[in-house]
Amino acid sequence: MQSDLKRVLYSQEEIAARLDQLAVQITEDYHGKDLTVLAVLNGSLIFMSDLLRRIPLPLQLDCLRVKSYYGGTVSTGRVQFDHAALPLVHGRHVLLLDDILDSGNTLASIIETIRLEAGPLSLKSCVLLRKMKKRSLSIEADYVGFDIEDEFVVGYGLDYQERYRNLPLIGVLKTEEC
């Protein structure tokens, strides 16, 4: 699988070191608060697992299954998830975890829905990767693992047609693979 990569952006060790830093910041920010972490599946599963093991706080965890890429390499702009499946977070501090901030459509849609329908005390977002590009929506993540160029990346939970999620690193996929 690694031979399908144009280049490696972040090694397993670099990712682990950055997660250590994020965990310290999140732990400080949420110390003494009722925290619920909502992970966006499937992409953030590995990120969520590794990050949360580094956060020594009592917290609740739930997941949202969201679609926006539909097997391609570019977000379609259509965000699909079951609003009725939103977890109970009323009166709690919520940290939303996602794998990548690309167009911003997914993050914006989830944040708007949670704010309007679930009534959290606070809502922040944390992404493993943020593509450095102009977005049509004015949305930013509160916590960012790494900034990357506008390239299609895989590994560490990120996929292309449900492949490459299990790579322990993050790399740019060769264009002929897409």
* Amino acid (one-letter) located at 107: L
How far is it, in rounded angstroms, from Cα 46 to Cα 135?
Answer: 26
Dihedrals phi, psi of 167, to nearest 5 degrees: -65, 135
Supply φ then ψ for residue 28, to 5 degrees: -65, -45
Annotated catalytic residue 29: no
Q: Which of 98, 99, 102, 159 is catalytic?
A: 102
Cα separation, 85 vs 82, in Å, equals 5
Which residues are known catalytic residues?
Answer: 102
